[in-house]
Protein backbone atom coordinates (compact mmCIF):
# COMPACT_ATOMS: atom_id res chain seq x y z
CA UNK A 1 0.00 0.00 0.00
CA UNK A 2 1.33 3.45 -0.85
CA UNK A 3 1.98 6.20 1.70
CA UNK A 4 -1.09 8.11 0.53
CA UNK A 5 -3.20 4.96 0.89
CA UNK A 6 -1.95 4.43 4.45
CA UNK A 7 -2.69 8.06 5.34
CA UNK A 8 -6.26 7.74 4.05
CA UNK A 9 -6.69 4.55 6.12
CA UNK A 10 -5.48 6.39 9.26
CA UNK A 11 -7.76 9.37 8.54
CA UNK A 12 -10.65 6.94 7.94
CA UNK A 13 -10.09 5.20 11.29
CA UNK A 14 -9.85 8.61 13.01
CA UNK A 15 -13.14 9.75 11.49
CA UNK A 16 -14.83 6.42 12.30
CA UNK A 17 -13.63 6.68 15.91
CA UNK A 18 -15.00 10.21 16.18
CA UNK A 19 -18.35 9.05 14.80
CA UNK A 20 -18.56 6.14 17.24
CA UNK A 21 -17.64 8.36 20.20
CA UNK A 22 -20.19 10.97 19.12
CA UNK A 23 -23.09 8.60 19.76
CA UNK A 24 -26.34 10.57 19.98
CA UNK A 25 -24.66 13.80 18.90
CA UNK A 26 -25.03 12.76 15.27
CA UNK A 27 -28.80 12.79 15.69
CA UNK A 28 -28.47 16.56 16.07
CA UNK A 29 -27.98 18.85 13.10
CA UNK A 30 -24.41 20.20 12.84
CA UNK A 31 -23.19 23.75 12.71
CA UNK A 32 -21.41 24.45 9.41
CA UNK A 33 -18.78 27.17 9.04
CA UNK A 34 -16.92 28.95 6.28
CA UNK A 35 -13.55 30.45 7.23
CA UNK A 36 -11.13 32.81 5.55
CA UNK A 37 -7.96 34.50 6.71
CA UNK A 38 -4.17 34.49 6.81
CA UNK A 39 -1.51 31.87 7.58
CA UNK A 40 2.24 32.31 7.91
CA UNK A 41 4.56 29.31 7.51
CA UNK A 42 7.90 29.45 9.33
CA UNK A 43 11.00 29.40 7.10
CA UNK A 44 14.04 31.69 6.78
CA UNK A 45 11.34 34.36 6.36
CA UNK A 46 7.62 33.94 6.93
CA UNK A 47 5.81 32.56 3.86
CA UNK A 48 2.38 34.22 3.73
CA UNK A 49 -0.71 32.30 2.59
CA UNK A 50 -4.35 33.13 2.07
CA UNK A 51 -6.70 30.70 3.82
CA UNK A 52 -10.17 29.46 2.93
CA UNK A 53 -11.97 26.50 4.40
CA UNK A 54 -15.07 24.87 5.75
CA UNK A 55 -16.03 22.64 8.64
CA UNK A 56 -18.93 20.99 10.40
CA UNK A 57 -19.33 20.61 14.16
CA UNK A 58 -21.62 18.29 16.13
CA UNK A 59 -22.10 18.98 19.85
CA UNK A 60 -21.35 15.77 21.80
CA UNK A 61 -22.08 17.52 25.12
CA UNK A 62 -23.18 21.12 25.73
CA UNK A 63 -19.50 22.16 25.73
CA UNK A 64 -17.70 19.50 23.63
CA UNK A 65 -17.94 19.44 19.83
CA UNK A 66 -16.31 17.30 17.12
CA UNK A 67 -16.23 17.45 13.34
CA UNK A 68 -14.28 17.44 10.08
CA UNK A 69 -12.47 20.40 8.53
CA UNK A 70 -11.06 21.03 5.05
CA UNK A 71 -8.73 24.03 4.63
CA UNK A 72 -6.98 25.22 1.47
CA UNK A 73 -4.05 27.65 1.58
CA UNK A 74 -2.57 29.57 -1.32
CA UNK A 75 0.94 30.90 -0.99
CA UNK A 76 3.31 32.72 -3.33
CA UNK A 77 3.62 31.52 -6.93
CA UNK A 78 2.54 27.85 -7.06
CA UNK A 79 2.77 27.11 -3.31
CA UNK A 80 -0.48 25.31 -2.31
CA UNK A 81 -1.47 23.45 0.86
CA UNK A 82 -4.47 21.29 1.76
CA UNK A 83 -5.46 20.24 5.29
CA UNK A 84 -8.09 17.52 5.93
CA UNK A 85 -8.58 17.16 9.66
CA UNK A 86 -10.82 16.09 12.50
CA UNK A 87 -11.30 18.75 15.21
CA UNK A 88 -12.34 18.74 18.84
CA UNK A 89 -13.65 21.99 20.37
CA UNK A 90 -14.29 22.82 24.03
CA UNK A 91 -16.50 25.81 24.82
CA UNK A 92 -15.15 27.67 27.85
CA UNK A 93 -18.68 28.69 28.88
CA UNK A 94 -21.79 26.57 28.72
CA UNK A 95 -23.25 26.91 25.21
CA UNK A 96 -26.90 26.32 26.15
CA UNK A 97 -28.21 29.65 24.83
CA UNK A 98 -27.86 30.92 21.27
CA UNK A 99 -29.35 34.34 21.92
CA UNK A 100 -28.08 37.24 19.78
CA UNK A 101 -25.12 39.00 21.36
CA UNK A 102 -23.91 35.97 23.36
CA UNK A 103 -20.17 35.33 22.98
CA UNK A 104 -18.77 31.82 23.45
CA UNK A 105 -14.95 31.53 23.76
CA UNK A 106 -13.45 28.11 22.97
CA UNK A 107 -10.24 26.14 22.57
CA UNK A 108 -9.68 23.54 19.88
CA UNK A 109 -7.30 20.92 18.64
CA UNK A 110 -7.25 18.83 15.52
CA UNK A 111 -5.25 16.19 13.68
CA UNK A 112 -5.28 14.81 10.18
CA UNK A 113 -3.67 14.93 6.74
CA UNK A 114 -1.55 17.69 5.13
CA UNK A 115 -0.66 17.89 1.41
CA UNK A 116 1.86 20.43 0.11
CA UNK A 117 2.33 21.20 -3.59
CA UNK A 118 4.87 23.49 -5.23
CA UNK A 119 6.65 23.93 -8.53
CA UNK A 120 10.39 24.56 -8.91
CA UNK A 121 11.06 25.69 -12.46
CA UNK A 122 9.71 22.94 -14.73
CA UNK A 123 9.51 20.39 -11.88
CA UNK A 124 6.50 19.74 -9.66
CA UNK A 125 6.82 18.62 -6.07
CA UNK A 126 4.18 17.25 -3.69
CA UNK A 127 4.47 15.87 -0.18
CA UNK A 128 2.01 14.33 2.27
CA UNK A 129 2.28 14.05 6.03
CA UNK A 130 0.30 14.04 9.23
CA UNK A 131 -0.62 17.37 10.79
CA UNK A 132 -2.08 18.92 13.92
CA UNK A 133 -3.36 22.34 14.94
CA UNK A 134 -4.30 23.88 18.28
CA UNK A 135 -5.62 27.26 19.30
CA UNK A 136 -8.66 29.18 20.40
CA UNK A 137 -11.28 31.67 19.39
CA UNK A 138 -14.74 33.04 20.06
CA UNK A 139 -18.18 32.82 18.42
CA UNK A 140 -20.71 35.66 18.73
CA UNK A 141 -24.34 34.77 17.97
CA UNK A 142 -25.98 37.21 15.54
CA UNK A 143 -29.31 35.33 15.42
CA UNK A 144 -30.38 32.03 17.02
CA UNK A 145 -29.00 30.28 13.88
CA UNK A 146 -26.09 32.45 12.64
CA UNK A 147 -22.83 33.36 14.37
CA UNK A 148 -19.58 35.10 13.46
CA UNK A 149 -16.22 34.56 15.06
CA UNK A 150 -12.50 34.56 14.88
CA UNK A 151 -9.74 32.19 15.89
CA UNK A 152 -5.98 31.87 16.06
CA UNK A 153 -4.09 28.58 15.73
CA UNK A 154 -0.63 27.18 15.39
CA UNK A 155 0.16 23.85 13.79
CA UNK A 156 2.44 21.48 11.99
CA UNK A 157 3.81 21.95 9.24
CA UNK A 158 4.92 24.82 11.51
CA UNK A 159 2.56 27.72 10.88
CA UNK A 160 0.29 30.21 12.55
CA UNK A 161 -3.10 31.19 11.22
CA UNK A 162 -5.73 33.80 12.00
CA UNK A 163 -9.19 33.38 10.45
CA UNK A 164 -12.66 34.86 10.55
CA UNK A 165 -15.71 32.60 10.55
CA UNK A 166 -19.35 32.72 9.57
CA UNK A 167 -21.37 29.78 10.89
CA UNK A 168 -24.92 28.50 10.58
CA UNK A 169 -26.57 26.11 13.03
CA UNK A 170 -28.62 23.71 10.93
CA UNK A 171 -31.79 22.03 12.16
CA UNK A 172 -34.56 23.43 14.32
CA UNK A 173 -34.31 26.75 16.13
CA UNK A 174 -34.73 26.61 19.88
CA UNK A 175 -38.32 26.98 21.05
CA UNK A 176 -39.71 30.50 21.24
CA UNK A 177 -41.09 31.98 24.42
CA UNK A 178 -43.38 34.95 24.78
CA UNK A 179 -42.85 37.68 27.34
CA UNK A 180 -46.52 38.48 27.75
CA UNK A 181 -49.61 39.39 25.80
CA UNK A 182 -48.91 41.61 22.82
CA UNK A 183 -45.10 41.53 23.17
CA UNK A 184 -42.59 40.29 20.63
CA UNK A 185 -41.29 36.75 20.75
CA UNK A 186 -37.86 36.21 22.25
CA UNK A 187 -35.47 33.27 22.08
CA UNK A 188 -34.29 31.55 25.25
What is the structure's pLDDT at 180?
A: 43
What is the structure's pLDDT at 33?
A: 97
Report helix, strand or coil for 97.
Answer: coil
Q: Domain holding 121: CATH number?
A: 2.40.160.20
The number of domains in the chain is 1
Domain hosting 51: range is: 3-187
The C-alpha torsion from 16 through 21 and 27 to 32, rounded to 10°, is -70
What is the structure's pLDDT at 105?
A: 96
What is the structure's pLDDT at 15?
A: 59
Report helix, strand or coil for 88.
Answer: strand
What is the structure's pLDDT at 174?
A: 55
The C-alpha torsion from 137 through 142 and 147 to 150, rounded to 10°, is -30
What is the structure's pLDDT at 177?
A: 37
What is the structure's pLDDT at 12?
A: 63
Q: What is the mean pLDDT of each run of 10 residues along the chain (188 residues)?
A: 62 58 62 97 92 96 95 95 96 81 95 94 93 96 95 94 97 54 45
What is the structure's pLDDT at 178?
A: 38
Amino acid sequence: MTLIGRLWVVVGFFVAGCLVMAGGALAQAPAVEVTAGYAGFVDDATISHGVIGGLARWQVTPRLGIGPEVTYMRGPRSDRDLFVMGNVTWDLVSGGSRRPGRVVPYVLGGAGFFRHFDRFGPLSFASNEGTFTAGGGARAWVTPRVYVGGEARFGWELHTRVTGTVGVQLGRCPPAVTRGPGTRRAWR
